[in-house]
Structure 1
């Protein structure tokens, strides 16, 4: 039982720190900073309209990204990181842009592309214009996959509360 409880406390330490930085302990309420070379995809207040919700299994329901508030339809959407445009087009009925940086794929939608697959983009470069319809209010959906697995984009954008190891007794 003690080992199970310890594992539940330690597990967030393995997944909450920005990738590549290790998970350092922080004061309660401390928030992770953005990973180096990452920015929010839209300007304005940092509003999370709908948070990331990991599915219980790879095919279960969940929200495999975050919906971030935007100023309105037509807002400029920027590359959250530097990389190569992996995809720019329509999936089902929604315009999507995916930027690849190594094994990391960052996808924004619904965004009308101003770039094409194969283009090199730099962090903060305008890559498209926000389309309406994803949320009740203007928002952009940002999803991040690492080696094919979805992770919370807030691991890269910052804003997650840091895990704190507490004594068991």
Structure 2
């Protein structure tokens, strides 16, 4: 089942077709590959994720890339529908912190319990559905249990956890900035990174 995050801003001008944004993004990617001079407003992330993967662990013990039930699908624009995270099959109901950090939110969003952790490198992880006894301000260590999947709530056809990762204010759109969602699988070394990121959005910190 695909997870669609809520709308965070008004939709683009209907007179501007969505395909135009796609064409612009494609042009930027081509420019990165063929222009020897670095772009002033973009950062290229190379495919070697080993320096990132060494610091992150799956939020479900012993999970591997084959346990990803629904992959990350980035939005075309900050307000677009997408799958802003990955769904990981959970053989165990315990959910672990993939990296250390501080709890910044514990509560219910719409109809699902959510816990959010802010990591030292500035990335923010959110997990749902997760019941947690932790409180805002608590610190967690990598691999620490942060909560459990509720038996009565199922995000997927089988027991799973949805994990989203974002970089605050890393996506500039006109005169405004929005959070940039990245693929959590990249942090684990399970996928290649995106080629083009807005400035200051490198998930490796």
Q: Which runs of 5+ in 1 are unaligned?
A: 16-22, 27-31, 165-169
Contact 1:110 1:141 in 2 (8 A): yes
Query: Is 1:7 the counterpart of 2:38 in the alignment?
Result: no
How many residue pairs are counted as aligned between the two chains?
Answer: 145
Q: How large is the Cα RMSD of the aligned pairs?
A: 2.5
Aligned ranges 1:10-159 → 2 under 5 Å: 14-15=44-45, 23=46, 32-33=49-50, 34-46=52-64, 47-71=67-91, 75-102=93-120, 103-131=122-150, 132-147=153-168, 148-159=179-190
- Indicate how the Cα distance of structure 1 residues 49 and 120 shifts in structure 2: closer, same or farther if over 3 A, else same: same
Distance 2:194 2:131 in 1: 37
Q: TM-score by structure 2 length?
A: 0.63
Q: Which runs of 4+ in 1 moved over 6 A?
A: none
Contact 2:183 2:193 in 1 (8 A): no
Q: Indicate the SS of the match to 1:113.
A: coil
Q: Which runs of 5+ in 2 are unaligned?
A: 1-26, 35-42, 169-178, 196-205
Deviations 1:76-103 (A, max 9, x none): 1011110100001111110101000142
Distance 1:58 1:155 in 2: 20
Q: Which has the higher contact order (CA 8 A, sep 6+)?
A: 1
Distance 2:63 2:144 in 1: 19
